[in-house]
Structure formats: structure tokens, C-alpha cells
Chains A and B, each alone.
Chain A
């Protein structure tokens, strides 16, 4: 797979997916910790597909801030990204170290996942979850141009899902959901999983709920690229936000819905251009802050990370970045 033309940041992610079934190369047990105590069963037909992004969001944040620091220094990010592969061979696994450091904080980083599960349950859906057996969708392989590896991974992942009797998947991470929905059928013969995104499921049943956000807020919504332009989920998040009492939806003039600007964290770009990705994140945050919103809501672990960093950089005092699943969860509690 090393043609020499694939940037090192991407080969790093690809190696991890192939060897450890997740983008960071950490153990699967760690990733499933967020679901402890939720009692999500295996072996049911409808499963919640948690994906890498939210499960590792805290680790990724640390990794990104490290990568950015180095990218801005004279060394450049290529060296450490490439170096990480040698470290692994030497038994010095950087991501393991981050994870161990971060594990002390408990699973708090994966809040949107637990929130999403609570929301589904309130809507009368009891999804299963494959925990440490959940396969990696491998989307970064596809985006890196490593289609042969992606295809192998997709067939294996499909096999795993089938072996647990899965028939329907509720996806939440935009990249994973798009991979399962649009990409898997291209590479897996007789692909028969019914894939829906969390927001489609929720928007279809939202009418049955009384929703009220704990305080009066102005909210803007950032459309993740994969959700809005690839999965075409445009109205659902808006319908959901408008259904919540105490929330006023305010959007940018031009850069909204299909015209939303990418947060700069797409398709592994952040691993190749850590510093440039930060510039783009802060540009997007600026467009959203112009709406005067108190809360920037989005629905993608990458976007959340990028926008948080952007708001911090722009000193957007008091402006919060929240995942839509969390907002929904908060609106249901009251």
C-alpha cells in the first residue's frame, strides 16, 4: 500500500485500521467503555453503530493538538506521523499512552453516544451495540485512495455484522454512516443491511415528544459535509431543532445547509495538514459566530472538535459547541 504518494498522516491512520480495527490503534475494549452501565445487548437485529470518531474524540483531540504543535514547529507533522509507526514496532505506542492518560477521565468524552442511546430509547427504540466486536468501517482507507484495503475491510466488517445477526444499522458518525450506506454496497456482494442515520430515525418520530431546552438560547447549526452533501440530510436537524422549545435557530446567510463550509477536518485532511486544518476550523467558526448564536450545534465528532478549537481561538466568550444528540438529550430531560 506504500506507493510513496500517500501522505504519511494517512498511512498512519490506515495502518491502525488494518492492524487494530480503529483509527488510533488502541484496544477495542477501551472504545466501548462509554456504553458501560447502559446495558446495550448484542445479538439483536437493530444495532447502534458508534464508530471511531466519538469513541476516541478525547484521544483525537490530544493527538491533534500535539500534531498541530509539531506542524507549526520546524519539524513538520510528517516526521512524527511517520515516527509513530516505528514507535509501534518498538513497543512504544503513542496512542496507547494518550489513551492511558485519558482513561482516568472515564468515558466522559463520548457523551453524544450515550445521549443518542437515551434519545433512541425515549422514542421506543432499543438498539443493540456490538461493543468491542463492532468493526471499523474503514472510511479513511477509501478516502486515502486505498480502495483494495477498504474493500477487504468492508467485506470483513459486513461478515462480522452478519455473524451477530444484524439486519439494521443506526449510524451516527457521518463518515461511518455514509460508508455503510453508499460505499459498502459497491464492494460487498449481496449487501443487505438497512442503514439509517440517527437523525432520520429521530426526525421521523419527533412529533411524539415534548421537547424543551433548559434555558432560552439562540442556536446555529453547522452541517457536516458527509451528512448534508453526501447523505443529503438537510431538513432533519432543522426540524428537530425547531421542535425544541426555548431554542431559536439562527443560520449564516450563505454558508448553510448544502452551502455549509467544511470545518477543515474532513477525510483525513486534518492528519495531513494539521495547521491548515486549524485555520479552516477557525474560519468556519467565525462564520457561525457571526450569527450571534449562544450555542453552535453540529453532529459529527470531527466537526465538534474543529469548531471547539476554532471558537477557543477566536475567543468566542461563552459560546458552546454541542452535538445535536446532546442537545436533544438535554431537551428531553426537562
Chain B
């Protein structure tokens, strides 16, 4: 590990965020509404709490056998006439995807944090492709030239008035600084409509994957994932290996707990995708590419995950469902958003920075910004002991292995 710390510049960034009134306004609104929603969702479906305990056991079983599950999923996907890949590193994943995409293509993209982790959009753009983020939050971020500040709500740090100002500049369509949220949503829909149909390739992530059938579960509300994964002729999915569970019934449990703690009673859409589009309606001859994509590619990314899985205490970070609930309970995140983080945010983000991205300086900066107050743990559906992990990580950083 390197011995110098860029703590000073990081602290400067954190403090600028903490002094930013716009950021504070946006976060205060978001936290209030998230807490009310999640309370409502859990009251309406109280079995979720016990179900989350089942998910802990599923994760305990799955994480140590991630590699085996990935091989099983690849086999299942190929049996379904898709293609499966296991990428050892971020570079390998980027190469696989870039080779599939080529150059001069139009790409529509659903939100994928794993894509953010490896810099997928930037990489494809550098290869000469036109890439459109279709999740509204990501779309705002892309147009702002900013980076996501929350895992499920990437534009959480932008108040509505600022979105209106941005859209009035980049979208036109009669949006003014006084426009309401409904008009802004309509303008984004209008702008992106053709892109789905022009696109050569659709890219998505996945919330959980059933290894036995190779089924991706993708949770969303906007419908952009449905369009991105069914309209273009090619669908490419990038998935972190920690998302794999053995069976499809395990995957249903993980998915339900994920959306419930992500503040939804039930999301509008859950897509289950196991292979390319096909039909056998003419003489029972299976033909691929009916109305959906003809090609289906899934890349499972290791990128340090199997290394993290071997650490007795920090491996818990791989249980994370990425519901984002902990972030709404973090007092520091509440004033800084994702500035308190790296590719992933807040306390748990430090572990990812240290082990998965191998960036000890960044990891130390994030680790020492954690209050170890423990409210994240209180909220976590799968009981990840973030304060303990942070202290363990500080030990690794301060004293070495």
C-alpha cells in the first residue's frame, strides 16, 4: 500500500459539499420522503423483515461460491442461446463489451452501478459511440457532466429548480426555470423516445441473478430498462459476481427485500431476462430475434470481489443489496451526498475503495469520514456491520495486514 494520503484535497471537496445550500436542500427533501416511504412499505409488508433474514442466509451461502455460481450461470445462459462471460478485471470487462459494441454505434443504457464502477460509458464514448443514459437520474447527471451521488437515486443532490435550469438549456422543449417536475419528466421522455428505436445496443445491469437458470432480475420504475433491454437488437448486461444466488426462488427473495428497503411497496417493473428473444410459431422452428433482442450477452465481473470474499470480516460488504437505505440514515451523507464516497458511497464505500478498487488513499479518506455511529447498520436489511468493518479497515490501513 502506498504511504501518502490525499486527505487534504478530499476534505476540501467534502467541506465544499457541506457548505452547498442547493445540495442540502435536495438532500433534506429526499431523506424526508425516503423515510416516510420505507416506513410505509415495511408497515404494509411486515414479513419483509423476516424475509431479509432469509436473504442473509442466501448471501452467506452464495458469496463463498461466487465463482462456481458464475460458471453455472454462464452455462445456463448459453443453454438459453445467450452468451456468458466471466471477466476477472474491470479492464477485461471493458474489452469484452467494447468488442461487442464496436464503434460508431448508438447505445442506450439503463442504470448500472457496476458500469459506473468500471467507467463503462466513458469507455464506449472514447471508442466512438453515442451513449445515452436513459434512467432519469443518470440522464440528468450525464447532461450535467457530474457523477452519481447515490446508488439508486444518482441525481439526489440536484434540487428540482436546478434540473429545470439544466433542461431549459439542453432540451429546450419549452422547459423554463419555472417548469414543474411533470413537464421535465415529459421532456426527457420526448428527448429519449427515438433513441431507444435508433439504438444498436442496449446495456443494463441486474439486481440479482439466478445461477441455475441464468435469469437476470432487474428492478425499475421508469420503464427505461424495459425499452433498453427489449427494443435494440442486442442486449448486453454487466453484473458484479456478488449478485449471483443459486436458484430463481432465492432471487425472488433477494429482489423483494431489495425493492422494499429501497422504499417501494412494489416497483412498477421487475424484468426477468434469461436469453434472447425467440419464437417457434412457424413449424416449431426456434428462431431468434422475434420482437426483442436477437443477441443476449451477460458479463459477470470479478474485479476484486473474490479477493474481498476471502477476508473474514470485510467480506460482509458483498452481502450489500445496493438498496441505498443506509445512505439516507448517514448523518455525513445527509450533508455531503456521494462526495463522501468513491465508486460506492459512505462507510461501505470505503471497503469497496480499499479492496475492490485497491485505492488505499481514497479508502482511508472515506474510512475516517465515517462516524461509526451505527445507524446504517440499524437500517441494513442484511445486518452489515458497517462500523465494525470500518474499524477493521482502519486497522488494515494504519497497521498493515
Where the two chains meet, the residues of A that have a C-beta atom closer than 8 Å to any C-beta of B are 1, 3-7, 10, 76, 78, 142-148, 225, 229-230, 254, 258-262, 264, 266-267, 269, 272-273, 275-276, 279-280, 283-284
Q: Is the CB of A7 within 8 A of B368?
A: yes
**Partner pick for B332 among A229, A259, A276, A284, CB 8 A cutoff:** A276
Interface residues of B in 13-31 (CB under 8 A from A): 14-15, 18
Q: Which residues of A contact B8 (CB under 8 A)?
A: 76, 78
A10 to B371, CA, bound (A): 13
Interface 1/0s, chain B 317-334, versus A by CB < 8 A? 000000000000101101
Q: Does the CB pair B371–A144 fall under 8 Å? A: no
The answer to whether A259 and B394 have CB atoms under 8 Å apart is no
Rounded to whole angstroms, the CA-CA distance of A78 and B369 in the bound complex is: 14
Interface presence of B282 (CB below 8 A): no
A261 x B375 contact (CB < 8 A): yes
Chain B residues with CB under 8 A of A147: 395, 399
Chain B, residues 362-391, CB within 8 Å of chain A (1/0): the string is 001001110111110110000000000001
Distance, CA A225 to CA B393, complexed state (A): 20
- For the complex, give the distance between the alpha carbons of A283 and B329 in Å: 13
Residues in chain B within 8 A of chain A (CB atoms): 1, 3-5, 7-8, 11, 14-15, 18, 35, 329, 331-332, 334-335, 360-361, 364, 367-369, 371-375, 377-378, 391, 393-400
Known: A142-B391, A147-B399. A225 touches B360 (CB 8 A): no
Are B398 and A3 closer than 8 Å at their CB atoms? yes
Known interface pairs A5-B364, A229-B378, A258-B378; A279-B373 also in contact (CB < 8 Å): no
A259 to B31 alpha-carbon distance, docked (Å): 14
| Cα–Cα, bound, A262→B360 (Å) | 26
Q: How far is the CB of B72 from chain A (nearest CB, A)?
A: 38
If the complex has contacts A273-B369, A283-B335, are A262 and B395 also in contact, measured as CB distance less than 8 A? no
Contact B371 A264 (CB under 8 A): yes
Whole-angstrom distance between the alpha carbons of A143 and B11 in the complex? 19
Are B334 and A3 closer than 8 Å at their CB atoms?
no
Contact, CB under 8 Å: A5 / B398? yes
Q: B375 and A3: CB pair below 8 A?
A: no
Q: A6-B398, A254-B35 are in contact. Are A276 and B335 (CB under 8 A)?
A: yes
Hey, which chain B residues are within 8 Å of A259, CB to CB?
Answer: 329, 375, 378
30 examples of A-B residue contacts, CB within 8 angstroms: A1-B398, A3-B1, A3-B398, A3-B399, A4-B5, A5-B361, A5-B397, A5-B398, A76-B11, A144-B394, A145-B367, A145-B394, A147-B395, A225-B372, A225-B374, A225-B375, A229-B373, A229-B378, A259-B329, A259-B375, A259-B378, A260-B375, A261-B375, A262-B371, A262-B375, A267-B372, A275-B15, A279-B18, A280-B371, A283-B331
